[in-house]
Every structure is written in structure tokens, then in C-alpha cells.
Structure 1
Amino acid sequence: MDAKNTTHRIGQTGPVEKQTGIRHLFAAASYSLGGAKRLIGEAAFRHELIAFAAAMIAFIIVGATFFQYVAMAILFLLMMAFEAINTAIEEIVDRVSPEISEMGKNAKDLGSFACLCLIVANGVYAAYVVIFDGFMN
């Protein structure tokens, strides 16, 4: 068995053969669904979902264009991705370095800052669409 075609899963004693073809697609979808389930457990992510829903309602009220909906959806998907990466960083740091360390703190803070940048981008764009494109027109 080729080493690059194997992986280890938690609770298993030996390498697991990687799926190929359509099975790989279903396996990858399963892993992504697991990540989404894990992410929904994060309070920050749930708050971001609520903010996105509020932005969509505001877009409906002001009559946003299709492009504006698409741009907001893309920004939100980016924020979801960054939130997932931030959560992964936090979990890895907690696993590898359960004691408080400066390096672990820095890693978590940087992940949090990346999320903040996208939260601000989402908020600024939503405010622009609602205030300047919606109510000012």
C-alpha cells in the first residue's frame, strides 16, 4: 500500500485506504458536513449567521440588486471559511499546548483578528448597500 494513499483516523489502529472516484466525493462531503456541524457549535458563528440573516432582510427591504446579494453571499462564505480555520487553529493549539503559552495565544489572537477583518468587511458592505444604495436612493 502506497503511503500517500493512506491516512489515519481517530480511534483506528492502522492506516485507512483513501477513497477514489465518486466515493472520494462522498467522503469529502461527509467530512465537510462534519466540519459544518462542529462550526455551528461555535457561538461566534451562530452570531454571524444571525447577522447575515439580518443583512439579507435589510437587503430585501431596500431592494438590493442581484449583484449585491451575490457579493454579500461571497463575503459571508469567506467569513464562514475564516471562522472554520480559526476554530481549527484554536482546537489544535488547545490539543498541542494545553498550558497557556505566548505562542499559543498569538496563534489564537491572529486567527481571531482574521475573523474580525471579515466581520468588518461584511458589516461595512452591508451598511453601504442598506444606507447609501438603499435609503439614499
Structure 2
Amino acid sequence: MTVRDQSQGATPQEIPPAVTGVAHVIAAARYSLGGLQRLMGETAARLELVAGAGTGFLLLVLGASALQLAAFAILFALVLAVEALNTAIEVLTDRISPEWSVQAKHAKDLGSLAVALLIFSNVLCVGGILLSLFG
């Protein structure tokens, strides 16, 4: 079975057969790495990665506890996960609605809000950790 990818000029592409077991796990890991590679093409994700790694390193140097570091790491991972979902929303929105529309704007704005709320949560987490260390 073939499908035409209109974004690439209608070149037929084979749909890969379904896999199970260990092959499925390997394929899923490959898809995740592809997603990470695509996400790193986004400036916002690269900036978030640099800020998160730097903040994590700073917290480690300042003597944050293992629990504090774990809480920060979880929230930081969630920022990248939601950034990936936001990017997916943007890609799909651009695909199904290439012209400007209020619905597309709302979809993109809501994805952006989700990322912003998690970044705010990270800032609060880091603030709480710093207060516990120096307050």
C-alpha cells in the first residue's frame, strides 16, 4: 500500500509493515530519536534545553538534594515533552490549514500556553529550591 505525501510533492511512499515484540521496541526508539531530532530543529526547544541543563548544573553545584534535583528534572522533562506536542500541533495545523484561520491561531496559541505554564512551573520549582538552600 502506498500513500502520497503532499508536502513532498505527491511522491508515493510505502507504508511500513506493522512490527511486534522486540522489533516494535526498537522501531519505537527509532521514532523517538527522530522526534528528538525534529524537536532540536526548533529554536525554542534548543533554548529550553540549554536553560534546563544550565539550571540543573547550577542546582547540583549549589547542593540541591536528590529529591529537589529529581523534581526539577521531571518538570524539565515535561517542558520538553510539551514543547514536542506543541511542535506537533503546529506541524499538523500548518498541514491541514495552510491559510490563516482563527482556529489554527487558537490551536497554536493553546500549545504555546501549555509550554509557558510548564516553564512558569519550572521557575517556581527552582525558586523554591533556592529558597530552601539560601532562605
Taking structure 2 as the reference length, the TM-score comes to: 0.88
How far off its partner does 1:14 sit? 4.9
8 Å contact from structure 2 (residues 75, 122) kept in 1: yes
Structure 1: which amino acid aligns with 2:80?
M
User: Over aligned residues, Cα RMSD in angstroms?
Assistant: 2.0
Kindly indicate whether residue 118 of structure 2 is the aligned counterpart of residue 118 of structure 1. yes
CA distance in 2, matches of 1:9, 1:32: 23
Q: Determine the structure 1 residue equivalent to 2:63.
A: 63
Q: How does 1:1-137 map to 2 (within 5 A)?
A: 13-130=13-130, 132-136=131-135
After superposition, the C-alpha distances for 1:75-121 in whole angstroms (9 at most, x for unaligned) are: 01111110000000000011111100000000000000000000000
User: Deviation digits for residues 21-51 of structure 1, max 9, x if unmatched?
Assistant: 1000100000000000000111111111111
Please state whether the residue corresponding to 1:16 is helix, strand or coil: coil
> Per the alignment, in what secondary structure is the counterpart of residue 41 of structure 2?
coil
Question: What is the deviation of 1:53?
Answer: 1.6
CA distance in 2, matches of 1:30, 1:57: 28
CA distance in 2, matches of 1:107, 1:96: 12
Deviation for aligned residue 1:124: 1.1
Q: Is the 8 A contact 1:86 1:115 kept in 2?
A: yes
Q: Residues 13 and 56 from structure 1, CA distance in 2 versus in 1: closer, same or farther, beyond 3 angstroms?
A: closer
Which whole-Å CA distance do the structure 1 matches of 2:19 and 2:4 have between them? 13
Gaps of 5+ in 1: 1-5
CA distance in 2: counterparts of 1:95 and 1:71, whole angstroms: 36
Distance (Å, rounded) in 1 between the aligned partners of 2:3 and 2:133: 52
Question: Could you tell me how far apart the structure 2 residues matched to 1:74 and 1:9 are?
Answer: 39
Unaligned residue ranges in structure 2 (runs of 5+): 6-10
Kindly, what percent of the aligned residue pairs are identical? Answer: 45
Which amino acid in 2 is paired with 1:121? S
Higher relative contact order (CA 8 A, sep 6+): 1
TM-fit CA distance, 1:123: 1.1
